Amino acid sequence: MKPTLEFAGASQPTLLSAVVVAALTFSPQIASADESGISFWVPGLFGSLAAAPTAPGWSLGTIYYHTSVSASGAAAAAREVQIGRFSPNVNVNLNVNLKAPPDLLFLAPTYTFATPVLGGQLSVGVMGVYGRNSTTLDGTLTTGFGPISATRTGSISDSLTGFGDLYPMVSMKWHDGVHNYMTYVTGDIPVGAYEPSRLSNIGIGHGAIDAGGGYTYLNPMTGYEFSGVGGFTYNFKNPDTLVQSGVDFHFDWGASKFLSKQAFVGLVGYAYQQVSNDTGGLPALGGFRSRVFGIGPQFGYLFPIGSMQGYLNIKGYGEFEAANRPSGWNTWLTFAISPAAPESTVAPTRHRVTK
């Protein structure tokens, strides 16, 4: 029997079901690092209550994701090489800026099993994405090959509306009082809109596997919560460009305070660091290891929808200390619906001890 903690008159799973569905609604896609400044994992994917238990059954999470990012130098040059604007064998002198403001919608159905597995709670799901991505490169780029040099000044841009890759996910959770633990495995099935000669893509053009673990501290008596989830991404070689992105490490965190049974406020953040070099790319770029940090506010609200539980969350991140990747700010608007945990109908047992 799974234990529950009381928070202002409601059981912990009742409050958290929809929240955690949103935390599991993952969106590995736009604007991170690695090949051409794009990676599988999106920093900020996980947040508050990531490892907390959920009610069994089907749930659906949706996320509207908007980001405004820019890059210069090597990150912009890598995109020029990707689309074939100049040969990777030339010398490069850059004054180039890249801008990319995608708008994406993610849909993630998830099923949580009622029967414990290895003493924990098993969930499986898959996510799809649809959206629009536009990219602009402008500035001056000078290339040289031996004694020959050429300078290009101007602007390159394109846009794309379509479907992205598919992302299956399996997670396990364990609950122990105020402590909650999780492990997960996810990956990229590269079936989305992708063309190596195009600036804007929604798919990433190669497969990936990501695995990690997390922890949530949740004290329903005080309303304080903290969560952290870390993991590593292994990227397969892109069959079109023959570039293989390096291994990435990512850590997402969230901290919150429940103001009532339904509302909480807090902070979110992330750290992202590529820990091994890309291979097969432009020699002038070297290993092209990328890095970024982000932090920002969040607000969440839970509410009933008939016999189900609804959840709204908005969070935003400002990025800093970025290297070899586009950076700026991003906003996540989440709506999730999940089963509400049934109210207990069993009267508590009173134990009598006699001497």
DSSP 45: S
Model-level pTM greater than 0.85? no
Q: By C-alpha distance, which of 112, 236, 132 is closest to 175? A: 112
**For the segment 192-202, what is each residue's pLDDT rounded down to a tens digit?**
999 988 888 88
The pLDDT score that the predictor gives to residue 100 is 66
Residues contacting 329, CB < 8 A, separation 6+:
67, 68, 69, 296, 316, 317, 318, 319
Burial of 76 (0-12, 13-18, 19+ CB in 10 A): buried
Q: In the chain, which residues have pLDDT < 50?
A: 1-34, 36-37, 76, 79-81, 83-84, 86-92, 94, 344-355
Residue 71 pLDDT: 61
Taking residue 59's Cβ as centre, other Cβ atoms within 10 Å add up to: 28
Rounded Cα distance, 103 and 101, in Å:
7
For residues 259 and 225, the answer to whether their CB atoms sit within 8 Å is no
The answer to whether 222 and 264 are in contact (CB under 8 A) is no
Structural domains in the chain, CATH included, are 6-339 (2.40.160.40)
